[in-house]
Amino acid sequence: MLFLSREIYLDNSATTRPCRQAVEAANVMMLECWGNPSSTHAKGSQAAQKLKEARRIIASTLSAAPEEIFFTSGGTEANNIAVFGGAAKNRRAGRRIVTSAIEHSSVMDSVAELEKQGFEVIRLTPDAQGHIDPAAVASAVNADTILVTMMMVNNEIGSILPVEAAVKAARRNAPKAIVHCDCVQAFGKLPISVRRLGADMVTVSAHKIASPKGVGALYKRKGLTVPPLTHGGHQEDSFRPGTEAAPLIAAFGAAAAIACDRAGLNARYQAVASLRDYTVRKLREIDGIVINSPEDALPYIVNFSTCRVKAETMLNFLSERGIYVSGGSACAKGEPSHVIRALNLPRNAADSAIRVSFCGDNTFADIDALTAAVREGTDTLAHFA
């Protein structure tokens, strides 16, 4: 029986271990610059200056202006602001919202709520590999479309969605439509320029790039007016009021400066791509394993099915051996994945789907341990009937 002397963390799409620089930045804010950034005295100004620097860093990583960056409590809140705000902004111009059937739950549940309010929601379905046809996007976006919301990278299988096609379709067929892109899984892994992308709003999150949980940001194009979800203060230009989480924001800036450095980003991408290829090769040596992620997926995510052992059973088996992976999005908390269902996989493949997600610290030895444990698990655990 395989038991390891150290932990192997392969669930980086759920959250990442905070880097030293992010922790130090948060500590400085809590121990030295702990004033309220809205206070006009020196202590408050000191904290406000730190927030200004973090905002500048996040803006620079996205090729945006600092005044276009608004801090939130994370990706879920930013997505909600974008979806509900975008619909409210344009509700008199039409009723159609175009999205995909494999969005993060914070988008899926938001558009479902808008659907209850009378909006028409078009959910584009992927093929068996998680691809969304750009032609289907263009066909779905008509003159009645007011909002297009599409993630850049799927958080469960790593497929890359045709966001640029969505932007072009919106500009051509529905010039007044707002385009929002959830870039949470792409941020720090792919170079992102909001100017080149052309989206009106973009969501990013801190805890996917080695920063503490509880903070994210929404890029909102300069000149775009979107009603806020909350009221009661002038922070974040009254768009997201409430005292800012200054330690988390400072940590976010410190982590983003490292994660989005172009040279480091490219080197890390190449290293992870090699690790992904090795992982897929080793998994395919195990009888019955099916790879659910497409070949052109973001290499940071590999989704596979054992087809013989339920995902929850395998997760517990691996966890007991100090190997941490996921059965899908952490936000689903064990519920069946809508992403896997959308792929229309056979029942045994859908019920046994496992997500492995990498960071730059993972090694080939980690993969050797993972695949050895998966092999042991498929050989010893109860099989499907």
| Residues that are catalytic | 331
Q: Which residues lie closer than 8 Å to 148 by C-beta, 6 or more apart? A: 97, 98, 99, 137, 141, 166, 167, 169, 170, 177, 178, 179, 180
The structure tokens listed for 309 are 């052992």
Cβ neighbours of 234 (radius 10 Å): 9
| H or E element at residue 99 | strand 96-100
In angstroms, rounded to a whole number, what is the distance separating the alpha carbons of residues 166 and 359? Answer: 29
Helices (H), the chain: 20-31, 42-61, 75-90, 105-116, 134-140, 163-173, 194-197, 246-259, 262-283, 311-320, 338-342, 347-351, 364-380
The answer to whether the beta carbons of residues 328 and 304 sit under 8 Å apart is no
In angstroms, rounded to a whole number, what is the distance separating the alpha carbons of residues 83 and 180? Answer: 8
The structure tokens listed for 125 are 């379905």
In angstroms, rounded to a whole number, what is the distance separating the alpha carbons of residues 340 and 268? Answer: 28
Residue 161 half-sphere exposure toward CB, CA atoms < 13 A: 31
> Which DSSP letter does residue 160 get?
B
Q: What are the beta bridge partners of residue 342? A: none
